[in-house]
Structure 1
Amino acid sequence: MSNFGEFYGENVFNDCIMKERLPKATYKALKKAIEKGATVDLAVADVVALALKDWAVEKGATHFTHWFQPLTGITAEKHDSFINPTEDGKVLLEFSGKELIKGEPDASSFPSGGSRATCAARGYTAWDMTSPAFVKDETLYIPTAFVSYTGEALDKKIPLLRSMEVLSKEAIRVLKALGNTTANKVTTTVGPEQEYFIVDKKLYDKRPDLIYTGRTLFGAKPPKGQELEDHYFGSLKERISDYMKDLDKELWKLGISVKTKHNEVAPAQHELAPIFTTTNVATDTNQLTMDVMKKVALRHGLVCLLHEKPFAGVNGSGKHNNWSMSTDDGQNLLDPTDAPHKSKQFQLFLTSVIKAVDEYSDLLRASAANPGNDHRLGANEAPPAIISVFLGDQLQDLIEQIEKGEVTSSISAGKLDLGVSTLPKLIKDPTDRNRTSPFAFTGNKFEFRMVPSSGTIADCNTVLNTIVAEVLSEVADRLEKAADLDAEINAILTETVKEHSKIIFNGNGYSDEWVVEAEKRGLANIKTTVEATKAYITEKNVALMEKHGVLSKLEMHARYDVNLEIYAKTTNIEAETTLEIAKRQILPAVIKFETSLAKSISAVKAAGVSAGVQCELLAEVDELAVALKKNIGELEASVEKAQALDGDAYAVAHFYKFDVFEKMQAVRAVADTLETLVDKDVWPLPTYGELLFNV
């Protein structure tokens, strides 16, 4: 792959290609629209569309699609060919500015939370020129937003773009009030680290639970898991290394700057991380990355599992959302520099984020909630379900000085002498890291570690942008009216720290002591998706989103309904799959084993031997089989009751979580015990040992 620099971004209609392919006037008009947040007229769009089509056809494309992100959390696409038949029986390849700007998918077939009726089908997709088009699978992909005929946002992109504009507006107000007049735009940037599991395709095909739900619903603990901590950063297996090399190449072709790859903590678990880019583009490319990860794995006879908890008893997967704010003149607003005590600008932006996270922790928690993440958060492998902020030694010291009313110094970086003359003295960061914190400051950014591995990063970044914009707007209001600017800055900083330092925690977030301490501080511990989702309809949060034009009350309630519906449907699928496997595979295998064992007992006794061991084993297995059959019946009854519920979305989801799910666990507990007793040749499912170590 020595020529990777030559093919990097070859399938993306990026700035370099635009400059090469577009007339100078068209290029300038498009760039101005992107940078200033304006629209382009149809004449410009026609020229861009022609260039896009010609470029895509040269790449082998025959179709185009408006690629969008509905409320399902994944992407959607409808493919149309470039062909236009002529009277002489031939075809022309055409693509107009009108087709580039606007599409019309069926809006009634996507979740809308009641904002669309089945009979009200019209919806529109609108070209998002801030995210570059690309070619994949002989199709030109055009990133778009998705809106209903009546104007409601039916996707993840529209509120994200709105939140980015709102944050930029309020951040610029603060900067100008501080006398910083060189910046005209603030952009939030993100680098999402992506965790995932890889399993063998042949074994995957024998696991209906993995096929239908993405996670194992049964599986006894193997003799070896992650106890030896030998997988983390370990040497890559050849098959995994080949997959990663192929994946790197495919992502680089799409201009996705994946930089880091390594083994994660659990066996068969891995991670990749890209370089930072603007939040909108990072969201699009992360969705694209997940799609490419799965497709490339199949080429290698592997399956990529993005579920948050595909295996019980070993670490699950998350997505670390590294978030910051940057100006168009090159400033990172969360960069403390070497002397953060000297920068009131940094202090204001830092404390604004702290206040935002404290005041809207419920909404931030909801933005990271999905059915899979319920298995992971708070399980001593991921951040707890309690939102807190880690600052580290340097910034903790800064905060304490602010609270006292006088900021005079900063803890500086030191050096580490390793005691070996041939090893360099290492520059030591002014603070440690904390992997147990859900919202940790990591140098010049905040890392939100709660995000689910299978989910979109659009939700959490929409919330982050909006809640920080709200606090910055309050700061800007005060600074713009201040008679004494320095005194007002100090007052804002001191008030913010005194009122919101309870959200700051630098200790072990996995400890039981922290759960007790958090409760004393008044911090919420929202453990389930069902409970977290209520944040979308609280009066305070609806008012926030409406104030900034990010989401209307109807759009907030739609997301509440959709998330609860997804939770209920996901759990129903898992329950139905549990029943199918238990009834049609596990129970018959147990009966077959019992029959074989009974025949063995008869044969042994006929030989004049007591067969005591066999008799004890048969009795133990039979007792468990009876319990399994009983638990299956109780789960069936629970599922039937859930499916018959006609209450509101919350009541249905709540029943699935606290009744159906609990009965699923009871079925699994017995089945997993049986797996340890039944002959391996009879057991119908590949074991955890095979799945986790046979790659």
Structure 2
Amino acid sequence: MSEAIHVAEIFGENVFDDAVMRERLPKSVYKKLKQTIEDGSELDPSIADVVAHAMKDWAVDNGATHYTHWFQPLTGVTAEKHDSFITSPDAAGRVLMDLSGKELIKGEADGSSFPSGGLRATFEARGYTTWDCTSPAFLKKDALGVTLCIPTAFCSYGGEALDKKTPLLRSMEAIDKQAVRIFHLFGNTAVKRVIPSVGPEQEYFLVDREKYLQRKDLIYTGRTLFGAMPPKGQEMDDHYYGVIRERVGAFMKELNEELWKLGVAAKTQHNEVAPAQHELAAIYTKANLAVDHNQIVMETMKKVASRRGLACLLHEKPFQGVNGSGKHNNWSLTSDTGINMLEPGVTPHENIQFLLVLACIMKAVDVHADLLRQSAAVPGNDYRLGAQEAPPAIISIFVGEQIEDVIDQLCSTGSATHSKMGGTLRTGVTTLPDFDKDATDRNRTSPFAFTNNKFEFRMVGSSDSISSANVVLNTIVAEAFKEAADILEASDDFPTAVHDLIKKLLSEHRRIIFNGNGYTEEWVQEAERRGLPNLKCMVDSIPSLVTEKAVKLFGDFGVYTRSELYARAEIEYETYAKSVLVEARTMSDMAGKQIIPAVIRYSGDLARSLNEVRTACPEADMSVQTELVLEVSSLLAAMKNAMEEIRKDLEKAGTMSNMKERAHFCYDEMVPAMNRLREPADRLEMIVDKEYWPFPSYGDMIFEV
């Protein structure tokens, strides 16, 4: 039996959190830093040296030898450069351990070696990392030893954001300001701050590491580029919420302990729908900390899996034919006085503030559906969205029967007089208690669903940072709040004005509400009739970043400049093209060096066997063996032709310097060519003797963990 873990004792032990700061900082310094963290006031540079010294002492006391500015460049993963605490040796050759306030606040990274979308030229190297004091420093303990990680933002020498954190913090300030105005309109003048809260759910696959290392496609691309379905997939629905296997359970136990020590409130764990697929969900926290924590979750999953002889797959579609992985971004707005703006109460039809907030969010999502769709665009998500497992690429809002009924009352009669109640659930079993059920069912096919007191944005890809989605959500809702507050603050009759505004917004944006099955072709046609955008792939969604509508939106709230938006669009095109080109080269390599040689060996042995039988028994019926040889030869020829097509496409793509042109070429030409190579290869896998096949099959990977 393993030693019992007392969660309360280990939680946050590797975090420079409030308790540590209170203990180690002078009261005056603690008070100033706490004010910055809680009130959003400007950081007093005079306290930096004291904080840095205390942070260093705490880290060294816990075995740290190095520190790093931990940041999130536009690669989608985190970055870090480690410096030791040692100072220059004195005359006696001794060194001291130190961290200055300047080193805490400011670091330098190469601003041209990370994706910049043209914001930085190759020769323009300087970029800066700057301390985000609202996200606590933490200790990373691994084979390198113990490292103090200081969460930071990353910008260029000219001040442009080169990371995922800076725009997020800007968007949080934007929605804070506008949401406070809404509160004050309703007399809640005690509210000083409103903070977007986020609780992400992370899906992932676990496979045996030895088998993972035998598959070049998993190593290079994160997904299987070849693979035939085993006799059983997920059709029996027996994996979802099923008993967690011992090996996976050991992984989950260690993962939880690592995360709890880092202050990540890992809450829920279970088997997901597909074999070998699982999920972890964390408790809500403020948006920028939730983003940091989700990055920590993904990094820790990979490390713990490796220690356990496993590989953690975060790609959105690692296995064709079974469910892919996403992450549900649960988003709400909470005041510093503890009020959730998305709490409808027992009688939503009487909650005027909630109805205004709902109407504003409906408007924001309707007006900026293209941006919300784009915020979930990563190459792997193209294989998942709309694939009978995830929301469709069409943005709509699910609000449920109760809220939809209130909306309909307001739109049709101008007033809402009642709210549907959930009633009592009775099982018909005497020993089972009756209980009040929710007024609304859930809808798993909706990309943006209202669930009790939050919105669940279900489109984000499992490998992606949740930052982009929350930047968009915060900013588009800030715009809707601002426009509503401008109208209401100028009104002489607030009750009438707010009633009329709610009705107007609900009526104008009613089209974005859809409570039905988002997987059906009927919904695709209905959405088109409603005028809702259907951006089916990542490449088609990227232009929404650089429309004049988007430039004005983000510019008005100081979230992105025009140049930052165009840079991000360029990076998105480049990322998509590079992803597809790596996959195409990997497919060509695997087909040419592994699959075709293996099939040739098999067909050669088959032909020799056929000849031997024919020689030994000329009258034997050899039609089956002959047909098999011919079928294998035909499929080999199809593979060879498809490989040649891919190689020509790779050469053509290499001549394209325009990233947008290259991305479209990859989507329009390369991806179909890759499918044409995969089809005969997967058919051959079903024919060729297993001992010849050069790498583990789907059955080997997803059922043997």
TM-score normalised over the length of structure 2:
0.98
Give the C-alpha shift of residue 43 in structure 1.
2.8
Report if the CA contact (8 A) 1:127-1:143 is conserved: yes
Q: Distance in 2 between matches of 1:175 and 1:281?
A: 24
Indicate whether 1:357 and 2:361 are aligned: no
The match for 2:165 is 157
- SS of the residue aligned with 2:129? strand
Q: 1:124 aligns with which of 128, 134, 146?
A: 128
The match for 1:373 is 381
Give, as a single letter, the amino acid of the residue that structure 2 aligns with 1:362. Answer: D
1:32-74 per-residue CA deviation (whole Å, 9 max, x = no partner) reads 1112222333331111101100111111110000000111111
Give, as a single letter, the amino acid of the residue that structure 2 aligns with 1:393. Answer: E
The match for 1:72 is 75
Q: Distance in 2 between matches of 1:587 and 1:426?
A: 61
The match for 1:55 is 58
The match for 2:497 is 488
Give the C-alpha shift of residue 258 in structure 1.
0.5
The match for 1:340 is 348
Report if the CA contact (8 A) 1:185-1:327 is conserved: yes
The match for 1:617 is 628
The percentage of counterpart residues that share the same residue type is 57
- SS of the residue aligned with 1:93? coil
Q: Distance in 2 between matches of 1:344 and 1:100?
A: 46
Q: 2:138 aligns with which of 131, 134, 137?
A: 134
1:625-668 per-residue CA deviation (whole Å, 9 max, x = no partner) reads 1111111101111111111113x321110001110111011000
Indicate whether 1:100 and 2:104 are aligned: yes
- SS of the residue aligned with 2:410? helix
The match for 2:572 is 563
Q: Distance in 2 between matches of 1:598 and 1:472?
A: 74
Indicate whether 1:382 and 2:390 are aligned: yes
Q: Distance in 2 between matches of 1:443 and 1:111?
A: 39
Give the C-alpha shift of residue 308 in structure 1.
0.1
Q: Distance in 1 between matches of 2:576 and 2:21?
A: 42
Indicate whether 1:282 and 2:290 are aligned: yes
Q: Distance in 2 between matches of 1:42 and 1:258?
A: 34
Give, as a single letter, the amino acid of the residue that structure 1 aligns with 2:82. Answer: H
Q: Distance in 1 between matches of 2:102 and 2:611?
A: 80
- SS of the residue aligned with 2:470? helix
Give, as a single letter, the amino acid of the residue that structure 1 aligns with 2:536. Answer: K
Gapped regions of structure 1 (runs ≥ 5): none
- SS of the residue aligned with 1:261? strand
Indicate whether 1:628 and 2:628 are aligned: no
Report if the CA contact (8 A) 1:604-1:610 is conserved: no
Q: 2:117 aligns with which of 94, 100, 113?
A: 113
- Aligned pair count? 694
1:317-351 per-residue CA deviation (whole Å, 9 max, x = no partner) reads 00000000000001000000101111111111111
Question: RMSD of the TM alignment (CA)?
Answer: 0.8
Give, as a single letter, the amino acid of the residue that structure 1 aligns with 2:45. Answer: L
- SS of the residue aligned with 1:567? helix
Give the C-alpha shift of residue 198 in structure 1.
0.3
Give, as a single letter, the amino acid of the residue that structure 2 aligns with 1:591. Answer: I
Q: Distance in 1 between matches of 2:44 and 2:171?
A: 24
Q: 1:231 aligns with which of 239, 253, 270?
A: 239
Q: 1:640 aligns with which of 626, 635, 651?
A: 651
Indicate whether 1:218 and 2:222 are aligned: no
1:561-604 per-residue CA deviation (whole Å, 9 max, x = no partner) reads 00110000011100000000000000101111111111101110
1:439-469 per-residue CA deviation (whole Å, 9 max, x = no partner) reads 0000000000000000000000000000000
- SS of the residue aligned with 1:38? coil
1:512-537 per-residue CA deviation (whole Å, 9 max, x = no partner) reads 11111111111111110000011111
Superposition pairs for residues 199-210 of structure 1, below 5 Å? 199-210=207-218
TM-score normalised over the length of structure 1:
0.99
Report if the CA contact (8 A) 2:273-2:323 is conserved: yes
The match for 2:205 is 197
Gapped regions of structure 2 (runs ≥ 5): none
Report if the CA contact (8 A) 1:10-1:253 is conserved: yes
Superposition pairs for residues 596-615 of structure 1, below 5 Å? 596-608=605-617, 609-615=620-626
Report if the CA contact (8 A) 1:103-1:125 is conserved: yes
Q: Distance in 2 between matches of 1:584 and 1:86?
A: 58
Indicate whether 1:583 and 2:592 are aligned: yes
Q: Distance in 2 between matches of 1:42 and 1:394?
A: 51
Indicate whether 1:90 and 2:100 are aligned: no
1:115-162 per-residue CA deviation (whole Å, 9 max, x = no partner) reads 000111111011000000000020000000001001100001011000
Q: Distance in 1 between matches of 2:621 and 2:451?
A: 67
Give the C-alpha shift of residue 610 in structure 1.
4.1
Q: Distance in 1 between matches of 2:458 and 2:45?
A: 42
Q: Distance in 1 between matches of 2:160 and 2:427?
A: 60
1:396-454 per-residue CA deviation (whole Å, 9 max, x = no partner) reads 01111221201111112321111122111122001110010000000000000000000
Report if the CA contact (8 A) 1:192-1:322 is conserved: yes
Give the C-alpha shift of residue 612 in structure 1.
2.4
Superposition pairs for residues 295-314 of structure 1, below 5 Å? 295-314=303-322
Superposition pairs for residues 264-283 of structure 1, below 5 Å? 264-283=272-291
Q: Distance in 1 between matches of 2:579 and 2:659?
A: 14
- SS of the residue aligned with 1:92? coil
Q: Distance in 1 between matches of 2:485 and 2:286?
A: 24
Indicate whether 1:36 and 2:39 are aligned: yes
Superposition pairs for residues 521-536 of structure 1, below 5 Å? 521-536=530-545
Q: Distance in 2 between matches of 1:227 and 1:92?
A: 62
Give the C-alpha shift of residue 679 in structure 1.
1.0
Give, as a single letter, the amino acid of the residue that structure 2 aligns with 1:681. Answer: E
Report if the CA contact (8 A) 2:25-2:51 is conserved: yes
1:210-260 per-residue CA deviation (whole Å, 9 max, x = no partner) reads 000000000001100000000000000100001000100000000100010
Give, as a single letter, the amino acid of the residue that structure 1 aligns with 2:256. Answer: D
Q: Distance in 2 between matches of 1:424 and 1:610?
A: 69
Superposition pairs for residues 466-485 of structure 1, below 5 Å? 466-485=475-494
Give, as a single letter, the amino acid of the residue that structure 1 aligns with 2:242. Answer: G
Report if the CA contact (8 A) 1:153-1:159 is conserved: yes
Give, as a single letter, the amino acid of the residue that structure 1 aligns with 2:6. Answer: N
Q: Distance in 2 between matches of 1:470 and 1:343?
A: 22
Q: Distance in 2 between matches of 1:108 and 1:651?
A: 23
Q: Distance in 2 between matches of 1:544 and 1:584?
A: 51
Report if the CA contact (8 A) 1:42-1:98 is conserved: no
Report if the CA contact (8 A) 2:328-2:459 is conserved: yes
The match for 1:650 is 660
Q: Distance in 1 between matches of 2:37 and 2:332?
A: 20
Q: Distance in 2 between matches of 1:76 and 1:192?
A: 21
Report if the CA contact (8 A) 1:174-1:479 is conserved: no
The match for 1:546 is 555
Give, as a single letter, the amino acid of the residue that structure 1 aligns with 2:111. Answer: A
Q: Distance in 2 between matches of 1:688 and 1:430?
A: 42
Report if the CA contact (8 A) 1:34-1:130 is conserved: yes
Indicate whether 1:660 and 2:663 are aligned: no
- SS of the residue aligned with 1:195? strand
Report if the CA contact (8 A) 2:32-2:44 is conserved: no
Q: Distance in 2 between matches of 1:607 and 1:316?
A: 51
- SS of the residue aligned with 2:109? coil
- SS of the residue aligned with 1:83? coil
Q: Distance in 1 between matches of 2:510 and 2:600?
A: 60
The match for 1:255 is 263
The match for 1:416 is 425
Report if the CA contact (8 A) 1:320-1:451 is conserved: yes
Give, as a single letter, the amino acid of the residue that structure 2 aligns with 1:677. Answer: I
The match for 2:680 is 670
Q: Distance in 2 between matches of 1:358 and 1:329?
A: 30
- SS of the residue aligned with 2:177? helix
- SS of the residue aligned with 1:440? strand
